[in-house]
Structure 1
């Protein structure tokens, strides 16, 4: 990135997860909470982090310190599965997955052949991410290459780290949204060359899901992955029981749904499969052995009636998992809302999702799922300085509840259940304030 990024310094209450590998780990032992901390950035990365008393000596002369004494500062939230072209169709009524695609999704995505239109929605989408505290996302575009250009151009204005790609779809969709095996390969290759690794942008090979790609197209996707091994693969897997039955009828020679992707070279370290609600044991094993990851999308799974994701199995089967909003089947951009839904999904299965495990899935765990934990996910020195300032008392009810909070874990849990975009006071991307709530209380000030 050629732009010069100014240094910055932020003081306040910091909370992050340092490491969490197994559910059997003492989660509390992996949590870092600093009541009065300081974070200093240089060229968009964390140069120093620790207690304020120790950090003052590391401050460059005359550097302004933004102080948030009452708020809580956490790493930037990471969305492992979201569709930017579906922003305008959130809350579309009355269908399950396959009918929902035909009734709502495909007609909406046709509009993105118009670059100006794609630019407008991309700008709105990026603003919504920042407004909701999301600093990194793995994003579906449409079949149109210009939709990818629009999104990366919008993110570039904020030095934002996004992973995105053009949808591959050569059957079982309207003609206006279909490419071919060859054109999908050529367009994706050109987009990889244009965007992958440029600034903070990363590219994802993006077959929508197995039913909308022929075996020939999936083979070309696998060829791309072999040619560009550091790019991502982003698709859907085992979201809906009718979808699974359809895949088995279309690919009768494959052992299961995941095997369709696996045999075409599309599993691996940077392969992320959204949903995975109804996996077979052999699919869990394949995900583990190939170091593939799952994007867990509870809001979407509930809205479309897809089922209850067995989060506990990701620990038992040692499979990486991160949180996804799945806009627009998901119903909110804010990962706090998504964690609220995740908690309820686990309750319905006799499990409880703790506040600290939830924070892990939305930050460091999501970074691990995206193979970015060397760059994102907590406040370790050297990582990219993406973080969120949370107002824990954005409403009267929250204020009353937070007065009863017994400790930081209880305060975080209450925020997770009751929170939304009103709690996002500021969002910092690459050390710079990229969003500030207009009506936020002026409770930040200069500390130095």
Structure 2
């Protein structure tokens, strides 16, 4: 029999967007890194480690399913322009710096420490175009205890000369990256055409062939900005719409495609995306920061889309997924106010679900405390807020989402094991 751990505290999780499961003063039994069950009374288990967190909240770790790891250093810059000039003026220049591995060794530990501190352990991230930097990032995530998809970016169309790849070299580097990434257990590769305008048709075709040959997931961007959509129409006139470009090149593996933003979608695209069971990465902060628009979150939840949240740094400015959840609520309220139809805004339970189990589903049975789920949890000490000893657990969770951060998270665990700070000598 494997290792057993009993965890005591006030447990909360959302297995669905409709219901928050609340277990005050309860015990969660973990067997071999998975949740065996939650009990009101302490089970009698022999040779079992006890972790008693008292009155602290215990919630699932957060999932950030759209994050640009190589944009960590540029957060907060260029928030006065829209997407396309922001990319050319700020982002491409920053990403080009990762050709130098020493720069990655400086930036990545800072990023991983902050993600650790804020409890984001399930990640779907873009690296840069650089083979060695992408592998170094994967290596750091693996050793630090994260669960992640990491993508080496492909782009053979770019106005930044240091980032523009040759099609054949991009394809060859991607194949080498896939082969070398087999060494990792919890960090996996994901095919990553930056977005349709950054890739020629031959490169898209090569990437689609890799997806089919190796059964790989895909991440990219979709319908973020009106200028971007018009550009796609010019470059791919034979495609029915933006999403059809990815479909034509087999970059739409069923249930394994992550599309960021998805703001300005046609009905035809929505139908095709539902058919392909895509994961939508809702990035409310960056959508507002770059004046891109407001994603119709309520309609997409009600339609049955797989949805998670993305910090989308550096267009997003904060890594804390509690903030992303609150931004999703606020954006949804604005959308509801502006809509000619009656559209209910998203509530905190739905937003919490998106930040945990919604995005966690991309990685398997993650982001919840259902039987058989991976035992990935955060311990939250909220006694710093004067109301915490007299309000309900539901209200304490809501307060943490709105007011919380790294200061309230006292322990972080993946697969039942406590995860220490990845780079303790780095701030």
Instruction: Identify whether the pair has TM-score above 0.5, normalized to the shorter chain.
Output: yes
* Residue 213 of structure 2 corresponds to residue 227 of structure 1: yes
SS at match of 1:188: helix
Q: Distance in 2 between matches of 1:302 and 1:429?
A: 32
Q: Does 1:34 align with 2:27?
A: no
SS in 1 for 2:211: helix
2:45 paired residue number: 58
TM (normalized to structure 2)? 0.91
Task: Provide the rounded CA distance (Å) in 1 between the counterparts of 2:67 and 2:395.
Answer: 29
Which deviations, in whole Å up to 9, do the C-alpha atoms of 1:374-427 show, x marking residues without a partner? 3x1212333322211122344xxxx1354563x322222222222233332222
Match of 1:269, SS state, is coil
Contact kept? 2:383, 2:389, Cα under 8 Å: no
**Are the aligned partners of 1:77 and 1:135 in contact in 2 as well (CA < 8 Å)?**
yes
Match of 1:362 in 2: 355
Corresponding residue for residue 425 of structure 1: 410
The 2-side partners of 1:59 and 1:380 are apart by 23
1:250 aligns with 2:235: yes
Task: Choose from 4, 24, 37 the match for 1:49.
Answer: 37
Choose from 78, 82, 97 the match for 2:63. Answer: 78
Cross-structure match for 2:109:
123
User: 2:77 is matched with which residue?
Assistant: 92
Counterpart in 2 of 1:444? none
The Cα shift of 1:196 comes to 4.6
How far apart, CA to CA, are the structure 1 residues paired with 2:162 and 2:51? 50
Match of 1:134 among 114, 120, 124: 120
Report whether the alignment pairs 1:379 with 2:372: no
Match of 1:305 among 281, 286, 291: 291
Equivalent in the alignment of 1:17 = 14
| Per-residue CA distance 1:222-268 (angstroms, 9 max, x = gap) | 01101111x21011111111111111111111111111111111113
For structure 1, list consecutive stretches of 5 or more residues without a partner in the other structure: 21-26, 438-448
**Are the equivalent residues in 1 in contact too, given 2:62–2:321 (CA < 8 A)?**
yes
User: Partners in 2 of 1:342 and 1:208 — Cα distance?
Assistant: 24
* SS in structure 2 at match of 1:50: strand
1:203 deviation in Å? 1.0
Would you say the 8 A contact 1:49–1:380 is kept in 2? yes
Match of residue 425 from structure 2: none
Change (3 A) 1:306 1:197: farther
Closer, same or farther: CA 309–404 of 1 in aligned 2, 3 Å: farther
Which has the larger displacement, 253-262 or 33-42? 33-42
Is 1:273 aligned to residue 259 of structure 2? Answer: yes
The answer on whether the counterparts of 1:158 and 1:429 sit within 8 Å (CA) in structure 2 is: no
Structure 2 residue runs of 5 or longer lacking an equivalent are 337-343, 423-427
Q: Secondary structure at the match of 1:192?
A: helix
Give the drift of 1:6. Answer: 6.9
Q: Contact 1:80–1:324 (CA<8 Å) still a contact in 2?
A: yes
Match of 2:248 among 231, 244, 263: 263
Distance 1:419 1:197, change over 3 A: same
2:401 counterpart SS class: helix
Change (3 A) 1:353 1:408: farther
CA distance in 2, matches of 1:401, 1:188: 52
Deviations 1:46-105 (A, max 9, x none): 2533125242x12525x3x22211221111100110000000110003221111111111
Match of 1:24 in 2: none
